[in-house]
């Protein structure tokens, strides 16, 4: 075990100290910008910067301790050049490990999630045709729609552009056709943004670094902002934000009094409150969807007025 004096010398030397302070500084700056930004997509990216910075800092500290142990084991010494070398190794190892682990998680996660869902089946042809039409419009032809027999109102995106959207029997039976289309559009929005993979990677790292409460809070916040972005994208896809709002209300009513589904941490089935919740507050989501509906109505009216003016000009 390296001596306390050696560790203090290492972590207070310019290179390691600057690396750690830079990570903390980048996280702090991103948080300040995050608090002053209203755009959900921008807020998501800023939270990802905070998450990645924190992840890098902890992997750097861990790998530094590992390489310091190696140096102490072989009694290599603690000169300035050797400390720089250890710091360099720790930096390269941290970036390489985080990148490789992220690629591995993204490659393995979809199959793991589908296995956890149990037996899946295809949906009835009419619903599948509507889904395929939506996928074609979004250039997502390789995404498949699957059904789970769960009676709770559940949907989730799995993977990316070659992934799957999974919906429950309960969801199909409880929602109107337009509402179900809105939920499918929401999940396809997650597919387009690669949210499902990012959520899984963040969840794994948050579990590994569960001793750091900031990591857990940021991971939950990333999920909340991704849901808001998907709401906006779904509204743009269908052109009917109120259908998604109606679906959200039904899902919330169904969730009350029921036991928590195994899918609640993965998909569109759990709408909670607080900093640890992975879904935004329902009232805020409904309010945002109502605003989107009003904006679309104004655009529609403006478009009608423009067509009317052009028609009058053509007639003249």
Mean pLDDT (whole number) for 122-150: 90
pLDDT in tens, 218-236: 999 999 999 999 999 999 9
Statement to judge: residues 156 and 97 lie in one domain:
no
**108 and 157 within one domain:** no
222 or 301: which leads in pLDDT: 222
143 within a domain of the structure (yes/no): yes
Q: Is residue 33 part of a domain?
A: yes
CA 218 – CA 220 distance, rounded (Å): 5
| Out of 66-80, 165-179, 214-228, 253-267, least confident range | 253-267
Q: Please, which pLDDT band fits residue 263 given cuts at 50, 70 and 90? A: very low
| pLDDT number for residue 278 | 85
Alpha carbon distance 228, 309 (integer Å): 36
- With cut-offs at 50, 70 and 90, classify the pLDDT of residue 77: low
207-216 long-range contacts (CB < 8 A, ≥24 apart) are: 209/54, 209/55, 209/58, 212/54, 212/58, 214/54, 215/51, 215/54, 215/55, 216/276
3-class secondary structure, 52 = helix
Please indicate, yes or no, whether residues 128 and 154 belong to a single structural domain of this protein. Answer: yes
Q: Are residues 93 and 139 located together in one domain of the fold?
A: no
Residue length of the chain = 316
Same domain, 122 and 107: no
Residues 149, 218, single domain; the answer is yes
Residue 1 clears pLDDT 60, i.e. is over it: no
Q: What is the pLDDT of residue 301?
A: 59
Range of the domain at 58: 4-113
Q: What is the CATH number of the domain that holds 264?
A: 3.30.2010.10
How far apart CA 266 and CA 118 sit, in angstroms, is 14
315 is a domain residue: no
Domains: count for the chain = 2
Out of 150-154, 163-167, 173-177, pick the least confident: 150-154
260, 140: one domain:
yes
75/210: higher pLDDT? 210
* Residue 164 and residue 260 in one domain: yes
191 and 164 inside one domain:
yes
pLDDT tens digits for range 92-127: 888 888 889 888 988 888 888 888 877 888 888 899
Given 88, 113, 138, the domain boundary residue is 113
Helices (H), the chain: 4-11, 14-35, 40-73, 80-116, 125-137, 169-174, 177-192, 195-208, 213-238, 241-255, 282-315
Q: Which residue has the higher pLDDT, 168 or 3?
A: 168
**pLDDT value at position 67?**
81
């Amino acid at each position: 075990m390296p001596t306390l004096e050696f560790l203090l010398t290492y972590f207070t030397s310019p290179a390691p100290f600057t690396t750690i302070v830079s990570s903390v500084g980048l996280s702090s700056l991103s948080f300040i910008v995050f608090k002053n930004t209203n755009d959900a997509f921008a807020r998501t990216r800023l939270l990802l910067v905070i998450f990645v910075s924190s992840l890098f800092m902890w992997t750097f500290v861990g790998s530094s301790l590992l390489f310091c142990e190696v140096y102490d084991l072989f009694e290599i010494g603690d000169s300035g050049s050797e400390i720089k070398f250890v710091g360099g190794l720790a930096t390269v190892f941290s970036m390489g490990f985080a990148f490789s682990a992220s690629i591995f998680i993204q490659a393995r996660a979809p199959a793991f999630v589908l296995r956890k869902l149990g037996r899946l089946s295809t949906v009835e042809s009419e619903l599948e045709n509507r889904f395929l039409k939506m996928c074609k419009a979004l250039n997502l032809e390789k995404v498949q729609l699957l059904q789970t027999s769960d009676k709770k109102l559940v949907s989730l995106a799995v993977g990316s552009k070659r992934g799957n959207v999974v919906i429950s029997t309960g969801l199909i039976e409880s929602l109107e056709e337009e509402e179900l289309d809105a939920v499918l559009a929401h999940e396809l929005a997650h597919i387009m943004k690669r949210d499902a993979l990012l959520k899984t990677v963040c969840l794994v790292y948050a579990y590994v670094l569960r001793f750091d409460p900031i990591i857990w809070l940021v991971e939950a916040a990333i999920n909340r902002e991704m849901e808001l972005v998907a709401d906006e994208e779904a509204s743009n896809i269908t052109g009917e934000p109120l259908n998604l709002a109606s679906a959200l209300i039904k899902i919330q009513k169904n969730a009350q009094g029921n036991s928590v589904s195994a899918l609640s941490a993965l998909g569109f089935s759990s709408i909670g409150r607080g900093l640890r919740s992975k879904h935004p507050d329902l009232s805020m989501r409904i309010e945002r969807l109502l605003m989107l509906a009003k904006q679309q109505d104004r655009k529609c009216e403006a478009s009608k007025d423009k067509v009317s003016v052009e028609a009058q000009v053509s007639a003249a």
